[in-house]
Amino acid sequence: MLDLPRSARLAAWGTGVLTGAAGPDAAVAAVVRDDEPHAVRWDGDAPTAPGPDPHDVRALLASLAAAGCGPLLLALPVPGDPGGLPGPPAVNVAALRAGECVVAEPPGAAGRWALVPEVTEFGSVWEPGAMVTWAVLGAAPRRAPESSSVADSERELRLALATATQALAALDVARWREDAADRIAAVRDGGLARDALPPGTSPRAARVLQTAARVLAIVELAGEDDGAAVTSFEATSRARALREVAAVARRAVVAAVNAHAEPVRP
């Protein structure tokens, strides 16, 4: 089963709740999935939440709704590809460390909220688990840069998927890791979970998200092995190609989730 980053699920489902397209029960289930119940921690420099500070995802969404927040925006920044960082520097560091964040903006507010997941994983490959706390930080009072269009992302993904599939075909980890064969099959044949996307997601956005999730899963798998590269130059070239397709996939996820800021109802 393919999956999306937690911040992508929170941004998409949170927008669904804030626009009335989705209910909070379904949103919490889709965001938390198999994790332990998510906690929420409000940082001292974050804008004040309406009412008592919420400490779980349901209360967080209720607080954002009470503040009049519009659609939530997703960013998936990594070193070398920091698009969408919400600022200020301390928040950017946290977002880069996590590789993801969600931005919420109350109307007429001097600042915004940056929701950054802090994840502690436990268990094993066969029985993984995670404890997640969403740190609510004060973001700079400006909107995130506009992302690519979903249509442009879909075109870029076609080439990225071809490159990533070639890397998957060269993967040798199945020879020495018991779990690799099942994981490769799951990436090759799997789709997004039924609750990965909220009601009203356009067919094109759903298609882009599924393809991007597949590319990111392939890149993660391929990064565990040198793909039978003979020389260091081959290994370096392959790693560069994988980084490039991963960047395309991240941008596609951001474009598709942020396009859902104004849901298209079926």
Residue 44 vs residues 53, 85, 137: alpha-carbon distances, Å: 11, 20, 8
**Cβ neighbours around 264 below 10 Å, total:** 13
Residue 32 has a pLDDT of: 95
Banded model confidence at residue 57, pLDDT cuts 50, 70, 90: very high
Is the pLDDT confidence value at 172 over 60? no
For residue range 67-99, list pLDDT tens digits in order.
888 899 999 999 888 888 888 899 999 999 999
Mean of pLDDT values over 140-151: 66
* 216 vs 187: CA distance, rounded Å: 10
Q: Is the pLDDT of residue 107 over 90?
A: no
pLDDT confidence of residue 6: 96
Other CB atoms within a 10 A radius of the CB of residue 89 amount to: 9
Q: Mean per-residue pLDDT for 177-195?
A: 69
Alpha-carbon distance of 212 to 246, in angstroms, equals 8
171 within 8 A of 184, measured Cβ to Cβ: yes
Share of the chain above pLDDT 90, in %: 34
